Amino acid sequence: MSDNHILPKHSNNNTLFLRALCIFSLIITGFWVIIYIACSLGFNLIASSQEFSNAHLFSGFSALPMIGFSLLALTGIILMWKLKKHGFYLYFAAQFLLFNYPLLVFGTEHFDLNELFFSSVFILLFGINLRYMKN
Q: Which residue has the higher pLDDT, 56 or 102?
A: 102
Instruction: Give pTM, 2 decimals.
Output: 0.80
Rounded CA separation 71/51 (Å): 22
User: For residue range 2-44, what is the model confidence (pLDDT) as tens digits?
Assistant: 445 544 455 566 788 889 999 999 999 999 999 889 888 877 7
Q: Which residue has the higher pLDDT, 80 or 3?
A: 80
User: For residue range 46-60, what is the model confidence (pLDDT) as tens digits?
Assistant: 655 544 555 556 777
SS3 4: coil
Count H helices and E strands in the chain, helices first: 4, 0
pLDDT, position 12: 67
pLDDT band at 108 (very low <50, low <70, confident <90, very high): confident
Amino acid at 6: I
Highest mean predicted confidence (pLDDT) among 41-45, 112-116, 122-126: 122-126
pLDDT, the chain, mean: 82
